[in-house]
Amino acid sequence: MSNINRSNFASVKKNYYRDGFVILKNFLDEKALSELRNRALSAAKELRENNNDNSPYQNIIKSLDKRDPWFNHQLKRGTHVSLMKYILNGEIEGASAAWFNRPEGSSRGISPHVDIIGSYRKPDAGATIWFALDQAQIDNGCLHYLRGSHKNKYPTETFISGIDTQSKDAVAAELEPGDAVIHSALTIHWSLGNGSGHPRRAISYFYWKAGIKGKI
């Protein structure tokens, strides 16, 4: 179950559109966190064992929803879906459930990028909700956001060069297990390696506003 109720939706949405992301403390209760963690670990284990992937992003598994009915159900009807609809102003399409692992000792992070593709860049075009399965902190590779960057115009590319990751608007989204963060598909974000000795595992669900795919 989610600990966010409808009475908080308006303030969550206001902060999301102001900053380009919003942190939701204690979004999952103990039971929901434990179920998500168990499902994620077993799906990731199974998929890794059957995968000969040589890509540099070995620790990312997209489209879990296409391989595992439980994730398909969560993408479509998880307790977060009503909030995602509220934020994206109506019907949404679940694009992907993904596993984002940053194992201990992994030096590779993900460079500043946006999730939107193509030139259709309306503020409510798409959003991601990212659930922390472990404590996510600077030293184990938490997400960082460039606050307000969803309002800027960048080249229509995924990876954006020249971002000042030390700027005063660079925010580390440090989370506890069961916390979540929602970010706009237009917000610049990145993460660093994990030199901490602690795991940093996460599940995310990415949504388009309904009908957007035909426009990108």
Q: How many residues bind ligand AKG (CB under 6 A)?
A: 11
Q: Which of 27, 204, 208, 209 binds ligand AKG (CB under 6 A)?
A: 204
- Other C-beta atoms closer than 10 Å to the C-beta of 41 total 14
Q: Which of 106, 128, 187, 194 binds ligand AKG (CB under 6 A)?
A: 128
Residues 6+ apart with CB under 8 A from 192: 109, 138, 141, 144
Is 189 a binder of ligand AKG (CB under 6 A)? yes
| 3-state class (DSSP) for residue 208 | strand
Is 106 a binder of ligand AKG (CB under 6 A)? no
Q: Which of 4, 81, 202, 212 binds ligand AKG (CB under 6 A)?
A: 202
Which residue pairs, CB below 8 angstroms and at least 24 apart, start in 116-121?
A: 116/185, 116/186, 116/216, 117/158, 117/216, 118/156, 118/215, 118/216, 119/156, 119/216, 120/212, 120/215, 120/216, 121/153, 121/156, 121/186
Are 176 and 3 spatial neighbours (Cβ–Cβ below 8 Å)? Answer: no
> Quick one: 6 or 208, whose CB is closer to ligand AKG?
208
> Quick one: 2 or 191, whose CB is closer to ligand AKG?
191
Is 137 a binder of ligand AKG (CB under 6 A)? no
Q: Minimum distance between the CB of residue 59 and ligand AKG, rounded to whole angstroms?
A: 9
Q: Which of 2, 140, 191, 194 binds ligand AKG (CB under 6 A)?
A: 191
Q: Which of 19, 65, 68, 115 binds ligand AKG (CB under 6 A)?
A: 115
Nearest partner of 184 among 141, 151, 140, judged by Cα? 151
- Site residues (vs ligand AKG, CB under 6 A): 100, 102, 110, 115, 128, 130, 143, 189, 191, 202, 204
